[in-house]
Amino acid sequence: MNKIWFSFRFRVLLAGSLSLVACGEKAPAIQQAADDNAITVKQHSVVDTAYAPVLRYSGTIASTTEATLSFKTGGIIQRIFVKEGDVVAKGQLLATLDLTEINAQVQQASQQTEKAQRDVNRVKNLYNDTVATLEQLQNATTQHQVATEGLRIARFNQQYAQIRATENGTVLKKLMHEGELAAPGSPVFYINGNAGSDWVMRFGVSDKDWAVLRKGNKAIVSLDAYPMKTFTGVITQIAEGADVSNGTYQIEVQVLPGGLRFAAGLFGTVQLQPSSLQQVRLIPIEALAEANEKTGFVYSLNPDQRTVKRHTVTIAFLEKDKAAIVAGLDGVQQVITDGVGYLTESATVKLAQ
């Protein structure tokens, strides 16, 4: 009986020992397999800095003396003396209305004034003879004054039944033609001045960029028409309200031609350097796993150095190969760059040697 028990116990102990040996051999194999499947990554330090971003926008050159010219009164356009692209001088006659109706209105108002004057003279004589009352004389005098003002209005409309250039410049666009019926105030010409130093670039910016821009901030302007040349500029106007059509804030940058020839409508880009600084955290742009407008995602290593943590960050701006982060990286000193495109929150990683 004792021999049988000893034999059974020996076999149990032997099996247990062999099992422990097998497990000891399998553990390194499992660890090695896990390392082989881990994603190799690299880290980069997060840099805290006060930074003024370079803002880039597109726009077109315009003149500050641009004008939309129209007739004060309505009528049939009789003559147009210029075409698009023509250079005009201040005061030059550009277009006239058919004056048949307008001249008739002047003549009618003139006759009414003459009649009112005769009425005043007649009532005044009757008043002197005590036949007419003072009230009748006052009424006649008032009617004469009303007729006189009517004549002045008719002559004013006659004077502005023509369009003259308000500045030396160029006709950018002609919107109507001879024989068309022009309503009062309907645009007929777009004209820009050519004083030589009044060129500006206008464009809309976001609310965040608007908040850091100031009048007097410097600008660098590049125009497609002069690909090898840059022009200096300065912010002269900043809108105090958003454009209701697109929600942006209008900025105007005065551009110096530097002796070159400018024309309205030249397309280009402008780089703005705000004077105010932002406190940001700079990371390599490749650390962004995803980005959607101002929101992005980055990863950092957990303390075990084998798993990762996903962070939702707020992007202030992108500048060359850097992303400026204003929120979402509190306490994070390093972010993952290489291998970030393969990561998920359940991924196993290993640092590159």
Q: What is the mean pLDDT of residues 43-70?
A: 85
Domains of the chain (ranges; CATH) run 39-49+279-351 (2.40.420.20), 56-64+195-272 (2.40.30.170), 100-160 (1.10.287.470)
Prediction pTM value:
0.51
CB 217 within 8 A of CB 235: yes
pLDDT-based confidence at 194, cuts 50/70/90? low
Q: Does position 33 have pLDDT exceeding 80, yes or no?
A: no
Average pLDDT over residues 23-46: 65
Range scoring the smallest mean pLDDT among 183-187, 310-314, 335-339, 342-346: 342-346
Residue 19 has pLDDT above 50, yes or no: no
Name every residue whose Cβ is closer than 8 Å to that of residue 94 and which is 6 or more positions away in sequence.
Answer: 69, 80, 81, 82, 88, 162, 163, 164, 165, 171, 188, 189
Contact between 259 and 311 under an 8 Å Cβ cutoff? The reply is no
pLDDT in tens, 243-300: 888 889 999 999 988 888 887 788 999 999 887 777 888 999 898 888 887 888 999 9
Q: Does 193 have pLDDT greater than 60?
A: yes
% of the chain with per-residue pLDDT over 70: 88
Is a pLDDT exceeding 50 seen at residue 13? no
Predicted local distance difference test score (pLDDT) of residue 36: 62
Token pair 């309907």 is at which residue? 186
Tell me the one-letter amino acid at 283: I
pLDDT number for residue 351: 85
Task: Report the interhelical angle of 134-159 vs 100-128 (nearest 10°).
Answer: 160
Residues 201-252: pLDDT tens digits?
999 998 888 888 889 999 999 999 999 899 999 999 999 999 888 889 999 9
Residue 276 to residues 55, 162, 242, 330: CA-CA distances in angstroms?
13, 51, 21, 23
Question: 287 vs 28, 136, 295, 339, CA distance in Å?
Answer: 33, 92, 13, 9
Q: What are phi and psi of 319, to 5 degrees?
A: -140, 110
3-state secondary structure (DSSP) of residue 169: strand
Q: What is the mean pLDDT of the chain?
A: 84
Residue range 75-106, pLDDT digits in tens? 999 999 999 888 898 889 999 999 998 999 99
Residues 143-191 pLDDT 10s: 999 999 999 999 998 888 999 998 888 888 899 999 999 999 899 998 8
Q: Is 97 exposed, middle or buried (0-12, 13-18, 19+ CB in 10 A)?
A: buried
Q: What is the pLDDT of residue 66?
A: 78
Quickly tell me which residue has 């309505």 as its tokens. Answer: 74
